[in-house]
Every structure is written in structure tokens, then in C-alpha cells.
Amino acid sequence: MLVWMQPTPSSAGQARNSEPAAEPERVAPDRAETPEIGARESVSGAELWNEREAVRAAAHRELHAAVLEGSVGRLSAIALVAAGVLGGYLGLLLVLGRVAVEPWSGLRATSLKLLLAAVVISLLLFAVTRIKTLRAQTVHDLGYVYLFALALLLGLLRHADAWPAKELARHVSPVVIPILAFGALIPAPPKKALTVAFGAALMDPLALYMMRLHEPLPRAPELMLLFASPFVAALVSQRISLVVHRLSEGIVKAREVGSYSLVERLGVGGMAEVWRAEHRMLARPAAVKLIRPKVLIDHGPQDAERLLRLFSREARATASLFSPHTIQVYDFGITREGAFYYVMELLRGIDLKTLVERFGAQPGERVSALLHQACHSLAEAHERNFVHRDVKPANIYTCHYGLDYDFVKVLDFGLVMDRHPTPEELEDDRRFVGTPAVMAPEMVRFQAPVDARTDIYALGCVGYWLLTGKSVFDASTRHDLLIMHAHQKPIPPSKRVGLELHPELETLVMRCLEKNPNRRPQSARELGDTLAALRFEHPWSEERAELWWKRSLERASTAEHSRSAPAGAADDEQAPVRTEAASENSTSERPD
């Protein structure tokens, strides 16, 4: 989950109080009577949308309805212009054939058939673009079929007669024209644009082979001259298409997502990026999380579809929880450009990973107070049969929230109710989702159900980190780390740091880290009650918390206090955080 630090003192109060919390709208995707993404109807930002179809479209890198609609209109124009030009050329050839002009008379029959076929397929495409019941994506894909067919026909027309190398005018293939036209006018994802452009360019060599099947082919140098133009055009077309596609994405350029205006990008992670944003009418600061298009392209349709489901699940699960210690979600949807996003409250504070990295191991009384608040969030989630599955220091945030100091927020419900990772996913860096440093044994050994006690184990890992400043296990590879969590007993925190710790708290943390789920606290509520019953010589009071914040963070520079950590991905990058305790920007990576 993306987390961030906001410097303006009034921001936390605004984020919490500027708008009363309303029960989130619940939309059942299977029952929603909404137009499909990519259907020929116009979809406005205020209308409901079919989430299942949107996930499929985004995972397969289909363009959004508004972009597809424009593409269909341009395809219609291309087909009509092509039919007119080729029809005019056909008429001219008929006239030349009637007056027996050489060398047209010998090629008349073949050329007439090829030109007629090109005119017919152009008119057919034009007719298809006028059928309103067809999905725009289907018409868009048929346009590429048309491009291949037209390129082949033009290639056959070009190679109907032998090609002397001295005829420089025939060095440039007519196939160049439709390739460049599609690159400039029809947006497509980069890989698809490259495949289509070079596929169309290959139609020229195929046409030569078909026309000279029983004749010797030109020499290699002549072939290079013959085919240079279509492949150069394909490269140029791909670069043009890339620019067109980026413009069609429109997220950063428009700087608007739903009712929010994007102000500043706070960070980029493995799966998503987060922006500081403001509501256009309420002037409320917020954080907008967007799925990075490159992630979907790199993962391929099947894995991308799963990542989008995780993203959607994260937003919906978080919005359905009402614990004050769970991050609030204001909005969730898809932009007209096809990008998934959701809007969260903007917090002032620091995640527990950075807290320890910046200020060292924490006193037991503070650790108990922080874990107790996290239990409040998880207890509600568990009562709803939600299992977080990725409770880790970077996903628990302590903040200055209104009048409260050290107020905990739990983030990143992206893995809620997800299945076990498969053995293949545990080995595949690209497909692995989760955090090995806090992964419970049952998540790895496949011998026990994943339930609320899985989060208890992870919370024990968080407590261990806070008390020692170290992860439960250290390993050079993810595989070794998973094996340790599955089979190796951890060293008690006091022995790890060589200091005396609160004995009951240490015992409780070690109970959370039991390999057998039955030996752990059986619920977050039970763990929270046990933490609340602990007694310390110097309790962590509101006064101590306020004093710590004012000494450590409140006097920090107001230049640039932002931190981000993306949700649902294991290997994420962090944006720098500046505080008085560390006067220079420092960047730290999240634990694996």
C-alpha cells in the first residue's frame, strides 16, 4: 500500500474532518447493469461501469471506450479515403487499358483484380465501422486485419511486374502509406503497435514470394533495396504510435482523476504510483493511487488481470472497514483512459519500517501501544473474514492524526482473501506477490489453512522489528528466508540485541511467532486484550507521544516530507523522507 508523509500541519485535520465519513457505495459487478468497457456507447465518469469487463480490458491492454471510439471514427475515414483513392486508380487503369497504353496492357487483368479487391475490403471495413452494435475493441482489431490485407494487396500490385533495380521510383513501396497512416491515427499499446507495424511490413516480401513463386528472386542487394522502405516505415510508425498511445493514456497530462486534480507525484513502486491530489470542489488533500501501465504490460494478460483484481479487492475491502485504525478510502474507479485508481486520506506521519530505520529500536511500552492499535484494525477485518496476509512494518503507519499522536493506521489490504501462492510463484520474481520477511509458515508449507492467525504471525514479526531493529530472520535469498520462516525457531529479541526487554511482551511476541498456528494468540482481539493488560514502569502516554513527535518530527523541515510504499508488490521503491533527525534526503528500500 502506498503510504506517504505530508508536511502541512493542517492537512491531517482536513483529511479526517473536512468531509464526514459516508458509507461507501457497494457495487456488485456481476449484477450491475452497466455498459461494457469498450462498448460503442459513451461512458461518462459518473456512470457505473462493469468492473469485471474493465479488469479484463486493462489486463489485456485494451484501450478505453473514449479512445476506442475515436479510433473507430478514424478507421472509418481511412477506409473511405482508401476506397476513393484506390477506386480512382482503378478507373484510371481502366482508361489506360482501353487505349492500350504500354506497359499497362500486359498487367491490366491482374492489376484490376487486385485494385478491385482492395476497394472491396476498404468498403467492407467502412461498413463495419458503421455497425453500432459491435464493440469498439472488435472494430479496432478488425482494422488491423484490414491493414494486413491491404498491405498484401498493395505488395502484390507492386510485384506484379519484374522489378529492375535501376527504377528508383519503385524503391518506395506503397505499403508504406497504410503503415504510417495507422501508426499516426490508430493508438495501440507499444508492443501491439510494433507487432502490427512489422506484420504489415512483412506483407511486401510475402507478396514478392507469391508473385515470383516459380521464378528466380532478385539478388540479395536488390532485395535489401526492395524491402527497405516498408521496414523503415514500420520503425517510424511504431515510434509515432508510441507517442499517440501516451497521449491517449492521458493520466498525467490531464492531471485529473475522477473529482480530484493531481498535484504532485509522491512515489513510484513496483505495482503502482501515488499522487498528492486535491478535490476540485472541497479543496481536501488526498492521495491517489494509480496502477502503472508498464506493470500490466510486463506481466502479460493473465498475471496483469490478477494484479488488477488484487487492486480492486484492496479498495473494496478497505472501504468496507470502519475501524479508525484502518486507512480511509474516499473513491475508487477507472479513468476514461482505462487506468484503475483509488483515492485515500493523506496522512502525516511515518511507517514503522522507517521509524526504526530512522530512530532505532523502540521502547517496549511504545511497541505495545502501536501493536494494540493495529490489532483494533485487524480484529474488525477478521470478523469480516478478511485476512490481511501482508502485515509488515511498511504497511503500518503511525501519524499525527487530529489531536492524537502515535495514531496507527493499517494499510494495504491488497492480498485480502487471496489464495496460497503456488510453488511456481514462490520461485518466480515477476509473479511473486507478498513479503517473505513476514510470511507465516502455513503460507509456505501448504499444510494449514490461511486464517486470522496468519496475520498474528506477521504482527509478531512487526513487534520483533520494533523491539530489535532487525527482521526475525536474515537471509541472502528469498528461498532461504521462506525456509527459515517455515522451519527455524527465531532467536528471542533480548538475546538478539543483548538487552533486557519487558519479559511479558517478549514472551507474547515469541508466541505470535510460533510455527504451529494453534500455539499463537487465536485472534487479533485476544492479542489486543493481552497487550492492553501489560503493565510498564513508564507507560507510553499521550504526553510522551506528543513530546516525541514534537522533538523528533514536528520541527522537521517543511521542504518536502513525502514517503510512499506501493501496495500489492514485494519489491518496491521508496520516496525520500526528510526530517530534522536526518537533514539530508535518504532513501530506504522495503524489506523483502
pLDDT tens digits, 124-183: 999 999 998 888 888 988 999 999 999 999 988 888 777 665 665 567 888 999 999 998
Which pLDDT tens digit goes with each residue over 17-67? 333 333 333 333 333 333 333 333 333 343 444 555 555 555 555 565 667
Give the separation between CA 330 and CA 25, rounded to whole angstroms: 10
**589 torsion bin: left (phi>0), alpha (psi -120 to 50), beta (else):** beta
Residues 222, 308 share a domain: no
- Is 1 within the bounds of a domain? no
Q: What is the largest CA-CA distance in the chain?
A: 111
Phi, psi of 586 (to 5 degrees): -135, 140
| One-letter amino acid of 205 | P
Residue-level pLDDT at 502: 94
As given in the structure block, the three cell numbers for residue 193 are 503497435
- Provide the angle, in degrees to the nearest 10, between the axes of the packed helices 503-512 and 452-468: 140
Interatomic CA distance for residues 414 and 313, integer angstroms: 6
Tell me which H or E stretch contains 279.
strand 272-279
* Chosen domain end from 345, 377, 403: 345
3-state secondary structure at position 438: helix
In CATH, what number is assigned to the domain containing residue 269? Answer: 3.30.200.20
Reading the block at residue 507, the C-alpha cell is: 514472551
Q: Is 556 in the same domain as 433? A: yes
Q: Is residue 330 part of a domain?
A: yes
Question: 317, 345, 373: which is the final residue of a domain?
Answer: 345
What is residue 347's DSSP assignment?
Answer: -
Question: Whole domain around residue 411: which residue ranges?
Answer: 349-586
Q: What is the predicted pLDDT for the residue at 555?
A: 55
Are 505 and 367 in contact, with CB atoms under 8 Å apart?
yes
Residues 491 and 504 both lie in one domain: yes
Give the residue among 58, 64, 71 at the shortest CA–CA distance from 184: 71
Residues 291 and 372 in one domain: no
Mean pLDDT of 513-524: 92
Regarding whether 480 and 356 lie in a shared domain, the answer is yes
Residues 75 and 15 in one domain: no
Q: Which of 195, 225, 249 is the last residue of a domain?
A: 249
Does 592 fall in a domain? no
* Number of domains within the chain: 3
> Do 281 and 340 share a structural domain?
yes
Q: Residue 482 and residue 435: Cα distance in Å, rounded?
A: 10
Regarding whether 441 and 418 lie in a shared domain, the answer is yes
SS3 5: coil
Are 314 and 427 found together in one domain? no
Whether residue 245 is found in the same domain as residue 144 = yes
Quote the CA–CA distance of 85 and 553 in Å, as a whole number.
70
Render pLDDT for 117-134 as a digit per residue (tens, 0 to 9): 999 999 999 999 999 888
- Asked whether residue 4 is assigned to any structural domain, the reply reads no
Point out the least confidently predicted range of 68-77, 244-253, 582-591: 582-591
Weakest-pLDDT range from 29-38, 74-83, 464-473, 504-513: 29-38
Contact 271, 292 (CB under 8 A): yes
One domain for residues 190 and 274: no
Residues 6+ apart with CB under 8 A from 205: 155, 227
